[in-house]
Amino acid sequence: MKVIRTITEVRQEISRLRQSIGSAEATVGFVPTMGYLHEGHASLMRAAKEQSDIVVLSIFVNPIQFGPNEDFDSYPRDEARDVETARLQGVDIVFIPSVSEMYPEPTQTTVSVSQLTNRLCGASRPGHFDGVTTVVSKLFNIVQPQRAFFGMKDAQQVAVIQQMVNDLNMAVEIVPCPIVRESDGLALSSRNVYLSEEQREQALVLSQALRLAQETIDTNSSVTAANIREMLRKVIQASPLAVIDYAEIQAFPSLQPLADHEMVYGREDVLIALAVKFGKTRLIDNIKLHKSEVLSHV
C-alpha cells in the first residue's frame, strides 16, 4: 500500500498499478473520506475491494464544506491510525492531499446541485453541499474511478452526488452501502467522539425513534406521514439533551417531503431522516424503509 500526497503522484500510481495488473481496463474503486476512520469506513473499503481491481482511499478534511461556526479546526484526525486501518482492509493507495494541494488558489469554480440541497442538512448548513459536490467532483477527476462507495448514513449526500453524476454524465457508478451501527444501535460517526457519556447514552434515541417508526409503518396500514413526524418528535423530545434540527419523512432519492395526509404503509421509496444536536454535536441518522437497516442492527 502506498500513501500519496500529490495529485500527480496518485495519477501515476494508478497508471502503474493498471500496468502491473496487465490491463488498462482494470477497475478502480474509490472511497472518499474525511478520515478518523471507523468500521463504517472499513465496510466501504471491503465493498470496494470486492468490486474493484484497485482500491483508492482518500483522506481529506475539506474546508469548503464547513460553515464559519462549524468544527473544521477541531474535526478529529488520526492519520497514523487511518493508514493502518486502510492497510488492514487491503487498500492499494491512500491519497492524503493537503489543503494547498487541493486548492492551490482560491476556488473560483464550484459545482452546485439545486433543489436536493435545499432540504434536510442543506437547510441548516447553507453552502455545505456546494463544498461536498465541488471536492467530490475534483476527486473523481483526479482518481477517475469506475465505482465510488458512499455510506447511506448520509443519505442526502448519496442522493446529491448521484444527481451530480447523472447531470454531468460522469463515468462513475455510485455504490450506496448500508449504515453500520454499534451493538446498541448508535450509527457510527467520526463525531461520536465529541459526545459525553450522558450524551452518548441519550443519542440512542435516534435509532430508537427510527425503529419505532418502522414498526408502526409495518403494522399500521392507515398511518400517515404526519403521524410519523409527530411520533419521531415525541420520542426524541423525551430525551432531555436532544435538540431536533429535523425529523422528516421523504421520498428517496428525490427528497421530496411526503404530504401530511399521505399514507406510508407498503411504500419502498421512503426515507425517514433525523438530525439532532446533543450539546455542540450534531448527529444524523436515517432509515430507508425497505432495507430494515435499524431493525437488523438493534
Q: What is the pLDDT of residues 237-266, one digit of tens each?
A: 999 999 999 999 999 999 999 999 999 998
Amino acid 223 reads V
The whole-number pLDDT of residue 289 equals: 84
Question: Cα dihedral angle (68, 80, 29, 5), rounded to 10 degrees?
Answer: 70
pTM, two decimal places:
0.93
Regions of the chain short of the pLDDT cut 50: 291-298
Model pLDDT, residue 107: 87
Q: Is 122 exposed, middle or buried (0-12, 13-18, 19+ CB in 10 A)?
A: buried
First-to-last CA distance in the chain?
35
Active-site hit among 41, 128, 261, 297: 41
* 178-190 per-position pLDDT tens digit: 999 999 999 999 9
Note the pLDDT of residue 290.
65
* 207 vs 224: CA distance, rounded Å: 20
Is 41 known to be catalytic?
A: yes
Name which of 5, 91, 90, 72 is nearest 34 in CA terms: 72
Strand bridging mode 2-4 / 281-288: unpaired
Contact assessment for residue 89 and residue 46, using Cβ atoms and an 8 Å cutoff: yes
Quote the CA–CA distance of 297 and 20 in Å, as a whole number. 40
Single-letter amino acid, residue 77:
R
The pLDDT score that the predictor gives to residue 69 is: 83
Average pLDDT, the chain: 94
Q: Give the number of C-alpha atoms closer than 13 A to the C-alpha of residue 256, restricted to the C-beta side.
A: 5
Alpha-carbon distance of 137 to 256, in angstroms, equals: 24
Q: Could you read off the pLDDT of 95-117 as tens digits, one per residue?
A: 999 999 999 998 899 999 999 99
pLDDT score at 62: 97
